[in-house]
Amino acid sequence: MTGFDTTFDPQPPAATKTSGLAITSLIFSLIVCCPIATIIGPLLGIGALVRIGGNPALKGRGLAFAAIIMGVVFTVAQGWGGYQMWQVMKPVLEGPNAALTAGFAGDTAALKAEFHGAGATASDAEVTAFIDELRSRYGAYQSCRHDQTAAGPTGAYGDPVIPFPYILTFDSGEVHAEAEYVFAEQGIGWIKKWGSITVFDPDLGDLAYPPSGDDGNGSDETDDADTDDEAESAPDDDADTDDQADSDPDAGDGD
């Protein structure tokens, strides 16, 4: 044993702290109202994992992994939701352009394919009559755009059928129109097709497709009403006959 008794105390463990980058990445991933933030979050999370792996004094690996997972999930969900919204709004923004283009090209089947209900089941003759009348009045069809000067859709939010205002451009000029878009139907689900088109013309009269009353029920209802009226009038005739018989009891006597 030497004259110097030296004792060396062990070094205290280095204090650890949570990575600020990991915390920041989680915060960004949770900002779901901003699609850019949910993209930045996972990128910061990856950077936090790299920094934590090279520094034993840092912790927060779990936060970084959570930021990456949630950011990716939220980004995918937002992308899918945005795509579905665009699929719904794109036809509304374009208007019935595809239907009119097909009609003026003579493709009645393609025009009817853009419609739901009576517009899809109308006869080729009705389609041709509508297109021919448009052509005779305004010339060849050119384009369709949303009418920014109009008051906007008259339907309430959430209605399955909402009318939208448009401006149709022909060779002779522009005309105002309204097209009903069928978003959904009860018992069927999403439809996303046109229900009708009305072209406003104060001088020559409005044009509509499909033709009004083309549901096949109008004539039946009229016929039923006429039949009911005849049925109701029949008992009155019988009653008159009975009254005459009662008022002349001796009519059948030889006296």
Per domain, the residue ranges of the chain are: 17-93, 95-209
Type and span of the H or E element at 177: strand 173-185
Other Cβ atoms within 10 Å of 133 Cβ, number: 15
- Supply the pLDDT for residue 56: 87
**Peptide bond preceding 12: is omega within 30 degrees of 0, i.e. cis?**
no
Other Cβ atoms within 10 Å of 120 Cβ, number: 15
Lookup result for tokens 């204090």: 15
Lookup result for tokens 């463990």: 13
> pTM for this structure?
0.62
**pLDDT 10s per residue in the chain (255 long)?**
555 555 555 555 556 899 999 999 999 999 988 889 999 999 999 999 999 988 888 999 999 999 999 999 999 999 999 888 888 788 899 999 999 999 999 999 999 999 999 999 999 999 999 999 999 999 999 999 999 887 766 555 567 899 999 999 999 999 999 999 999 888 888 889 999 999 999 999 999 999 874 443 334 444 444 444 444 444 454 445 455 444 454 544 444
- Supply the pLDDT for residue 156: 57
CA atoms within 13 A on the CB side of 157: 0
- Supply the pLDDT for residue 213: 46
- Supply the pLDDT for residue 54: 85
Contact 163, 177 (CB under 8 A): no
- Supply the pLDDT for residue 2: 55
Say whether domain 95-209 belongs to CATH 1.10.287: no
Residue 161 CA to residue 156 CA, distance in Å, equals: 9
Q: Dig out the tokens for 182 from the structure.
A: 């069928």
